[in-house]
Amino acid sequence: MQLANWTQVSDFILIGFPGTKTHNLSLFIIFLAAYVLTVMTNVVIIVVTHINAKLHKPMYLFLSNLSFLELWYVSVTIPKILASFVTSNNISFVGCMAQLYFFVALACTESVLLTVMAYDRYVAVCNPLRYPTIMTQNFCICLAAGSWMSGFLTATGKMIFIARQSFCGPNIINHFFCDVSPVLHLACSDMSLAELMDFLLALIILLVPLAVTIATYICIIATILHIPSAKGKQKAFSTCTSHLVVVTVFYSTTMFIYVRPRTLTSFNTNKLVSVFYTVLTPLLNPVIYCLRNKEFKEALSKTVCVAFSRSMD
């Protein structure tokens, strides 16, 4: 990395959501509420799955990893958004690069992790008798660790090319956080190679896992259609619906932003879509996964009852 180029701009200004004080106060309350709820619900998922022996299964191991990821995912962007409403829109160059790196790393990790969760559902539905022997604890830990490693390695590859760019001004980013396209838009040097590598890496880390996920669901649906009873079909499909909804929301928004030519959509449109997958999706994921899951709801109720009884003693 050519660190000398980084000193040409000492900080950036995030435009965010310009408006009146009343408008900013309303947005501050909305984002704060979303952040608090996201943190609380994902912490609950992690704690409940950890202390309940019945939830020590591959599906909940991956769900705990997803919840842990979502905690960091929202913490990378929302605190800075909240600060911009009450203090300053400035972010240091190093802070911007750090935010960009961790945001990309976590998004890439989620892409692979969702595919791992799809494979878990594939084995559960298509090979139920072999499920315990295939999805062993060590294998599941390796799959989860591989998701994290692939995400951070991909982000490192992206940052190598971004860090080689010269940023000599202007330093105004038309976004509410440091994302790849708005940052590269400010580069003074030729950014064609950096944009090409960013596009190719986005294709690999998004389309390859998506292709695997689609293939697994084709097999799952084919298996479900061969189940003779309607009740059996409904039970088998119910184990996949939550994951399928999360996958659809994640890929539809991220591919709109990252897997397309940069000039097709304005940055203002990008900001609206970005709010969906940086704020709303992490908030909705726990609801989608847990409110439809009878086993988790029973474990949660048991945990609450035990905690309440201990507090009364």
Which residues make Cβ contacts (< 8 Å) with residue 129, sequence separation at least 6? Answer: none
| Alpha carbons 74 and 70: distance in angstroms, whole number | 6
Q: What is the CATH number of the domain that holds 154?
A: 1.20.1070.10
Chain segment 228-287, per-residue pLDDT in tens: 888 777 877 777 888 888 888 888 877 776 665 554 455 566 777 788 778 888 888 888
Tell me 13's DSSP state: E
Q: How far is CA 45 from CA 39, 78, 96, 263, 297, in A?
A: 10, 20, 30, 40, 10
**Does the model's pTM come out above 0.85?**
yes
Taking only the tens place, the pLDDT of each residue in 35-63 is: 999 999 999 899 988 888 888 889 889 99
**Number of domains composing the chain:** 1
Crossing angle of helices 137-163 and 93-126, rounded to 10°: 150
Q: Which structural domain, as residue segments, surrounds residue 150?
A: 3-312
